Structure 1
Amino acid sequence: MSILPRILTLPGWQNSGPDHWQSRWEHLHGYERLEQHDWQRPLRGDWSARLQEVVVDSPGPVLLVAHSLACILVAWWAAHSPDACKVQGALLVAPPDVERTDLRQPLPGWAPIARQPLPFPAVLVASRNDPYGSSTHAQALADAWGAGYIDVGERGHLNAESGLGDWPEGLALLHTLIATKDKA
């Protein structure tokens, strides 16, 4: 019998508000938020150190549920952490293109994006009309990271403003990741 992973939600820049699907999942399913020290001025090194601290302190395996900038965090952290082996999988939703000129200024230090294959199973979910990153960019990241790619059509940044509610489709993808790992 396998041990159920600790499911960590990783919000992006400016955190996830109460109507965001991550917050709803925490309330409905008891998932835990990875709190960062500064949501308004995210520093890649600080965010990476915080993720490292929480993964190392987890008694068993973890599963990461990342939104937006946290997808970029997961890739960077996984490329540098010897403890990435504790991660059973990752659901990566709406990764922004932090290499774009308009995002480099408010998010200094996040480019370049780590493009090494992830050492754990992952699914990347993207929208065709995400204002922070094109679907072409998201597909390229999925390919580089060795992640499955799910195109959900035109749904914006896949956040509270997208009207996803409890986002059952995303939860089904998360359960698929868990089930896939259980079969391994």
Structure 2
Amino acid sequence: MSPPPEATPRVLLLPGWQDSGPDHWQSRWERLHGYERVQQSDWMWPRRGDWMARLEEVLLEDERPALLVAHSLGCQLVAAWAAHSRHTGRVQGALLVAPPDTERDDTPPQLHGWAPMVRTALPFPSVALLSRDDPFGHFYGMAAVAEGWGARLVDAGSRGHLNGESGLGDWPEAHAFLRTLRR
């Protein structure tokens, strides 16, 4: 059963591999806006099924709809979870930032379980922000993946992996895209 559309959505932060450090825009949004970080049991050796189960568990803990804010491997989590869950109606939308290419030959062994990438269309609105010089995903290749997800593509320029090292601060531009996903 889907929650009523008039309910105020909660915002769930989905960090990628190794979590998001204190200077990362996700951590800053957690402090500034009170958003909820979905804690995973293993940030160093992430297992796709475990991460999907944890997201499902957190979504079912609360009747309110959710907005998902994913960075890096968190984007792959959203796609994999949405392709298998019967509870996608709980999600109003997803902000997908810097999805990595987990099918590359140089993918670290910790992430081999994340291939092949899920390319199924998401059943909720989404916006994908991609950097032109992301070291973990070629811009055009990841744009094609985001297109498969049905995401609105946003070119974030050349800003690396769009993480704490990218100097984004509180990143109000990205927060504006999150607001567009609220119903």
User: Which interval holds the TM-score relative to the shorter structure?
Assistant: over 0.9
1: distance between equivalents of 2:45 and 2:37? 18
After superposition, the C-alpha distances for 1:78-108 in whole angstroms (9 at most, x for unaligned) are: 0000001100000000000000011152312
Mapping for residues 46-65 of structure 1, pairs under 5 Å? 46-65=50-69
Shift in Å, 1:128? 0.3
Residue number among 167, 170, 180 corresponding to 1:166 in the alignment = 170
Residue number among 134, 154, 157 corresponding to 2:158 in the alignment = 154
2: distance between equivalents of 1:165 and 1:39? 23
After superposition, the C-alpha distances for 1:139-171 in whole angstroms (9 at most, x for unaligned) are: 101110001000011000000000000001010
Cα RMSD (Å) = 1.0
What letter matches 1:105 in structure 2? P
After superposition, the C-alpha distances for 1:27-66 in whole angstroms (9 at most, x for unaligned) are: 0000000000000110001101100111111221011000
Identity of aligned residues (%): 61
Number of aligned residues: 179
Query: Residue 110 of structure 2 aligns to a residue in which SS?
Result: coil
Q: Residue 38 of structure 1 aligns with which residue?
A: 42
2: distance between equivalents of 1:158 and 1:59? 31
What letter matches 1:115 in structure 2? R
What letter matches 1:158 in structure 2? L
Mapping for residues 133-144 of structure 1, pairs under 5 Å? 133-144=137-148
Tell whether the 8 Å contact from 2:46 to 2:110 is kept in structure 1 after alignment.
Answer: no
2: distance between equivalents of 1:67 and 1:56? 21
1:15 aligns to 2:19 (yes or no) = yes
Tell whether the 8 Å contact from 2:11 to 2:69 is kept in structure 1 after alignment.
Answer: yes
What letter matches 2:21 in structure 1? G
The runs of 5 or more residues in structure 2 that have no matched partner are: none
Question: Which runs of 4 or more aligned residues in structure 1 lie more than 3 Å from their structure 2 counterparts after TM superposition?
Answer: none
Q: Residue 67 of structure 1 aligns with which residue?
A: 71
Query: Residue 114 of structure 2 aligns to a residue in which SS?
Result: coil
TM-score (norm 1): 0.95
